[in-house]
């Protein structure tokens, strides 16, 4: 009997050691420091959880639900002081200069687990790290390796944007995404609520915004950029919107998960749905021949800019912003300000009169005039205005916060902080995850630009050209999912994950603790399993093989190159039409073969497991 107990104890200790080695590098985002020690905490149905009174009502439902979800475990959760000597988890609010806002200290020992923080956000974040330390399995009793985790965020803005205008997503879908992203310590959820293809928020003073502006004609069977405009008399079955009660529920749900909901009402351009609902906000009193005032169905939407000269435009937007601002407790209000086609302004008598009265040199300064009016309206609601970086044009808009998305010819990531603007990095080259994430011929329909997971992960939000003073104005980083090509929940999630997880680590972790190989391994070993458990659709494109070849027609030969972003694995391929395996040819470098053959290639682990989809292409 003693030998049997000793063997069980030995197996338990060995298992803990293995788990400790795995868990030390399994976190996303990677903490500042993780120190693993011997032993572990046995989490079971008798484990008690203690939460401070001030946070009990918000935190208890989350703790209870997550233990039930993760482990099928019902744990007793108690309010206030600790009343157990061992086998407990304690959330502790402390005063400590060493713990930064949203930061925490997680201490797992054989007798207890403590999560210490100076604020609710830190306690929530510490709990998410504890969840990641627990093995992914369905079991009512599990061992958590002993460890000390000290952690705090690099940036205060760790965001994701979801475009619900191009394709409406339900309230329940939004709540699910808040659950997922908050578990990876993302704390800003930017809702792109309005655009040419739909107005998605109820405005009680202007009901036509949702009665007409939230619905469009069905063109789902036609590629996005090839769709013809709707006619006035055809049905408009595609769309939807959030009631103000829906918005309140989303905000409250997010608040308890340390997520701030940021609303965006995009003006003066991207406003075709708004103009369709209220045509009087367009530049001309009489609709010019050939101008269509239906909600856009996709593709480009001409005549989508509001009139910048009519005073009624500003009164309308003041009413809308006042109503929206009252709903959202966030200190921020996003007004868009991007991609404005000013051709109608050049011909509009109201716009030209406004330019003359205010001594504006050109339409760029007229846009600046418009944006400054928006800034005054937003400021009157005691909000900080956010705009896409086009709002820097003309005379700029001091006091605003800039989302710097353009790169290349435009350098807002440098211009905005150099001109004193708080800046959020939303680089389209690193953060626009509407772009496909694997070989374009293997991915769902979308832009033909490839933004692989490794590139999202490699993003450095603070440009090296900035001084320290300028760098201090960089609030953080945000990834953006524009929705032209994501009509379904499954496709939407496929584009969000795992690239949003990479962005979360870019936003939270300091560069010195980041490692692409560790991140990739953490996904494979743990986080894909967690997403599976939580019913989240995600892409495994990180394991795709990228083929490139050139055909020499003179000799009927193909020179073939194979590549992958994943590290630590081998590529095997075939040329006879069979699926590759470890028995196939191992790729060691480019090779020459007969043209027109069918190439099949895959990425494999040492045990023969295929990691991603098989790449298949004809060499011709």
Active site positions, annotated: 339
Rg, C-alpha atoms of the chain: 27
Q: Which tokens belong to 546?
A: 């990228």
Give dist(CA 41, CA 205) in Å, integer: 56
DSSP tag of 518: H
Is the CB of residue 505 less than 8 Å from the CB of residue 519?
A: yes
Side-chain half-sphere exposure of 422, counting CA atoms within 13 A: 13
Q: Which residues sit opposite 552 in a β-bridge? A: 557
- 545, 538, 580: which is closest to 562 by C-alpha? 545
User: What's phi and psi for 453, nearest 5 deg?
Assistant: -55, -40
Task: Quickly list DSSP for 563-588.
Answer: E-S--S-EEEEESBSSPP-TTSEEP-
Is the CB of residue 479 less than 8 Å from the CB of residue 161?
A: yes
Q: Which helix (H) or strand (E) holds 591?
A: strand 591-594
Other CB atoms within a 10 A radius of the CB of residue 53 amount to: 10
DSSP tag of 46: T
Is the CB of residue 194 less than 8 Å from the CB of residue 164?
A: no
Strands in 97-201 per DSSP E: 104-108, 112-117, 142-151, 157-163, 188-192, 194-195, 198-199
489-496 and 499-508 helices cross at what angle (nearest 10)?
40
Give dist(CA 312, CA 281) in Å, integer: 7
DSSP tag of 365: H
SS3 491: helix
User: What's phi and psi for 43, nearest 5 deg?
Assistant: -85, 120
């Amino acid at each position: 009997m003693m030998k049997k107990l000793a063997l069980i104890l030995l197996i338990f200790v060995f298992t803990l050691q293995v788990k400790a080695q795995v868990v030390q590098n399994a976190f996303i985002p990677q903490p500042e420091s993780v120190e693993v020690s011997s032993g572990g905490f046995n989490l079971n149905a008798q484990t008690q959880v203690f939460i401070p009174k001030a946070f009990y009502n918000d935190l208890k439902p989350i703790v209870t639900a997550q233990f039930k979800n993760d482990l099928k475990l019902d744990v007793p959760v108690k309010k206030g002081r600790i009343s157990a000597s061992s086998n407990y988890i304690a959330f502790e609010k402390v005063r400590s200069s060493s713990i930064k806002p949203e930061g925490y200290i997680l201490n797992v020992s054989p007798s207890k687990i403590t999560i210490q923080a100076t604020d609710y956000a830190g306690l929530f974040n510490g709990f998410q790290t504890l969840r990641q330390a627990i093995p992914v399995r369905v079991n009512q009793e599990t061992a958590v390796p002993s460890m000390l985790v000290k952690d705090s965020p690099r940036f205060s803005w760790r965001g994701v944007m979801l475009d619900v205008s191009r394709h409406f997503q339900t309230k329940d879908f939004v709540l699910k995404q808040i659950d997922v992203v908050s578990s990876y310590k993302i704390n800003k959820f930017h809702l792109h609520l309005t655009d040419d293809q739909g107005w998605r928020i109820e405005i009680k003073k202007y009901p036509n915004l949702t009665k007409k502006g939230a619905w469009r004609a069905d063109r789902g069977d036609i590629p996005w950029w090839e769709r013809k405009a709707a006619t006035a008399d055809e049905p408009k079955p595609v769309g939807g919107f959030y009631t103000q009660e829906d918005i309140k529920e989303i905000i409250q749900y997010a608040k308890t998960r340390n997520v701030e909901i940021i609303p965006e009402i995009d003006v003066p351009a991207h406003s075709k749905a708004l103009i369709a609902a209220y045509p009087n906000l367009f530049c001309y009193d009489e609709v010019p021949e050939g101008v269509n005032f239906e909600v856009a169905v996709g593709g480009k939407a001409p005549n989508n800019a509001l009139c910048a000269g009519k005073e009624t435009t500003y009164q309308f937007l003041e009413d809308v912003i006042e109503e929206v601002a009252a709903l959202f407790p966030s200190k921020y209000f996003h007004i868009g300000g991007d991609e404005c086609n000013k051709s109608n302004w050049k011909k509009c008598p109201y716009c030209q009169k406004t330019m003359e009265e205010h001594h504006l040199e050109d339409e760029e300064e007229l846009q600046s005039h418009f944006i400054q009016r928006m800034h005054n309206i937003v400021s009157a609601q005691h909000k900080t205005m956010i705009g896409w970086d086009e709002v820097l044009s003309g005379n700029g808009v001091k006091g605003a916060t800039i989302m710097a998305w353009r790169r290349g010819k435009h350098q807002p990531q440098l211009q905005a902080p150099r001109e004193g603007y708080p800046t959020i990095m939303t680089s389209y080259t690193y953060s626009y995850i509407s772009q496909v994430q694997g070989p374009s011929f293997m991915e769902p329909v979308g832009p033909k630009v490839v933004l692989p997971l490794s590139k999202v992960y490699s993003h450095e939000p603070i440009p090296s050209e900035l001084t320290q003073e300028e760098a201090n104005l960089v609030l953080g980083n945000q990834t953006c999912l524009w929705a032209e090509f994501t009509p379904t929940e499954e496709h939407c999630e496929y584009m969000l994950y795992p690239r949003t997880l990479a962005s979360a680590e870019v936003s939270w972790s300091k560069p010195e603790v980041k490692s692409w190989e560790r991140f990739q391994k953490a996904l494979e070993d743990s986080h894909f399993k967690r997403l599976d458990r939580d019913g989240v659709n995600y892409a495994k494109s990180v394991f795709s093989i990228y083929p490139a070849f050139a055909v020499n027609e003179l000799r009927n030969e193909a020179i073939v190159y194979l590549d992958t972003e994943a590290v630590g694995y081998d590529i095997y391929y075939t040329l006879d039409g069979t699926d590759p395996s470890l028995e196939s040819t191992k790729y060691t470098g480019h090779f020459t073969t007969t043209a027109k053959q069918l190439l099949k290639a895959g990425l494999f682990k040492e045990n023969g497991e295929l990691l991603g989809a098989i790449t298949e292409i004809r060499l011709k």
